[in-house]
A and B are shown apart, each in its own frame.
Chain A
Amino acid sequence: MKTAGAALVALQFTLFSISAFPEARSEPKTFRPPLESALKNDKFGKMVLRGKDIFIHTKELLPENVGSNLSCSSCHLDRGRLENASPLWAAFTMYPAYREKTKKVDTFTDRLAGCFKYSMNGKAPALDSEAMTALTTYAYWLSKGAPVNTELKGRGFIKVSAHVNSLTEKNGAAVYRAKCALCHGESGEGQLSGGKSVFPPLWGSQSFNAGAGMNDPATMAGFVKANMPLGLGGSLSDEEALEVAVFVTSKPRPANPK
C-alpha cells in the first residue's frame, strides 16, 4: 500500500514537472521519521519504545509528574510524528537553543521539562531520570536522518492569517459549541473512558496551565487549523480557528507557575 502510494506520488510528480512547469522547483519535502518496524529489539530499541509509551500514557506511567489529564500525545499527534502538530523530529534537531522563556540556552531535555511544568501542569522527572532518558531517546530515534540545527518543514504549528477583533471571542463560543464540544465537552472538561483521558480537557483544573505555549491564542489557532476536529484538520477557516482559540484561552485554568 505504502509503496504503491509512493510510486503514484512519484509518477504524478514526474508528469507534473515535465508537462506543466518544467522549471518549477519542488516544495521542500516533509521529513519522514523511521518506521517502528525498523526498530531492533535491543536495549536501545527497548528504550525507544519505553519513551513512546511514556509519550502516549504520560499520566498513567508518571502520575507524580503530570498534574492534568493530558499526555504528551494530547498535542503532539500521531505519537509525535505528525507535521504541523509539533513533531518531535523537528524539535529535537533544534536544541540546544537559547529561549526567551527561560532566558538561557536549554537542552532538549530542559525543553521536555518545560512541557511537564506548563503544558501538563506538573513537575518534570529529574533530568537524568530513566523517564527523561526514554523520552529523549524516542525523540532522537524519530529524528534519524534529519539535519541538525536546521528548521524543518512541519515544525511546531502553522500560522493562521486572521486578526482579533471585538467579535472574536463571541464568535469563538459558537464555533466551540458547533465543532469542539462534541468531544471536549460543553465546559471544556474533556472526556474519559475507563478512567483514562480520551478527549483532552481544554480548560479548568485538569488542563494545561496559563504558562503553556498552547495558552497563546495564535499558537492554539495554528494547532486547531491544521488538526481539529481530529480527523477533519483544515476544515475550519483561519478566522474560526483564531476565534475558537481566543474563546478557549479566555477560560479559567491553573495559574502560570513561572
Chain B
Amino acid sequence: MSPGEMLFTQGRPPNVAACISCHAKAQSDNAQSGFPTLTGLSAEYVISQLKNFADGHRQNPLMSAIAKSITEDERSQIGDYLSKLKFPDAANVRAAKVDQGIESIVDEGAWSRKIPACISCHGTELRGVGTSFPPLTGQNELYVKNQLMAWRTNRRKGDPLRLMETLSKRLTANEISRLAIYVSTSEQSESKK
C-alpha cells in the first residue's frame, strides 16, 4: 500500500483522519454530505487545495484543522495516490427536459456579462483540463453549489488568477443552483456510451 493510499484509507492518527471516512469514492455517496469526490483529481490540484485550507484561503472547520496537520510530503503522497484513480462518472442522468438557459452558459457562455463558456476551461463535457482545471461532471451538486457560493461571497480564495472568484460574482445565486444540478449530472445519450 502506497503512503498516499495509507493516508487516504487509514489516516495518520491522532491528527489526520482517513480521507475516505468523509470523501467517498462514488459521487452518490457524497451527495448528502456535500463533501467533494477526490479520486481522479490531479496531484497539483489536491496539493494546492490542501495548502489553501492550511493557510486559510479556504475555510472549513474539519478540513482546516486536518490540512494544518498534513505535512508537505503527505500532501504530495495523497495527491499522487488520488491522481492515479478514476474520477467517477456522474451517478445521475440529466432530466430529459434540459435546463437550456444553463446549458447555454456551460457550452457558450453569457458574454453580455463577460462569462465565458464553462467548457472553455473545464473541457469537453466538463471532464477537466490539465492540472489546474478540475473535472466537474461527476462532482456532487451540493459541493459545486457551495463552492460557487463561497467564491461569490469571498469565503473561498486562492484560485488561479482569481478566475472562479471573478466569474462566480457574475452569476446569480439562482444560476449557481441550476449550474450545480447541471454539472453534477450527465447527458442522456453520453451516459449510454
A residues within 8 Å of B by Cβ? 2, 5, 77-79, 81-82, 179, 182-183, 185, 191-194, 196, 198-199, 229-233
Contact = CB atoms under 8 A, between A and B. Distances in A.
A240 B117 CA distance: 25
Interface of B: 108-109, 111-112, 114-116, 119-121, 123-125, 127-130, 132, 160-161, 163, 166-167
A81 B132 CA distance: 28
Nearest to A85: B111
Contacts, number: 54
27 contacts: A2-B112, A5-B112, A77-B111, A77-B116, A78-B108, A182-B160, A182-B161, A183-B121, A192-B129, A193-B123, A193-B127, A193-B128, A193-B129, A194-B123, A196-B124, A198-B119, A198-B121, A198-B123, A198-B124, A229-B161, A230-B116, A231-B114, A231-B121, A231-B166, A232-B161, A232-B166, A233-B114
Q: Interface SS of chain B: helix, strand, loop or mixed?
A: helix
Contact of B163 (A5, A191, A199, A229): A229
Contact of A194 (B108, B111, B120, B124): B124
Contacts of A233: 114
Given A82-B111, A230-B116, A231-B116, A194 B166 contact: no
Given A198-B120, A198-B121, 14 more contacts: A77-B116, A78-B108, A182-B132, A182-B161, A193-B123, A193-B124, A196-B123, A198-B119, A198-B129, A229-B163, A230-B116, A230-B120, A231-B166, A231-B167
Contacts of B160: 182
A231 B163 contact: yes
A230 B121 contact: yes
B111 A81 contact: yes
Report, nearest first, the 9 A-B pairs whose CB atoms are least far apart: A193-B123, A78-B111, A194-B124, A193-B129, A231-B116, A191-B130, A198-B129, A193-B124, A198-B123
Q: Identify the interface centre among A2, A179, A232: most chain B CB within 10 Å of its CB.
A: A232
Contacts of B112: 2, 5
B82 to A, nearest CB: 19
A2 to B, nearest CB: 8
Nearest to A182: B160
Query: Of B112, B119, B128, B167, which is in contact with the most chain A CB atoms at under 10 Å from its CB?
Result: B112
Nearest to A5: B112
Contacts of A182: 132, 160-161
A193 B130 CA distance: 8
A79 B163 CA distance: 21
Contacts of A179: 161
Nearest to B163: A231
A191 B129 contact: yes
Contacts of A78: 108-109, 111
Contacts of A81: 111
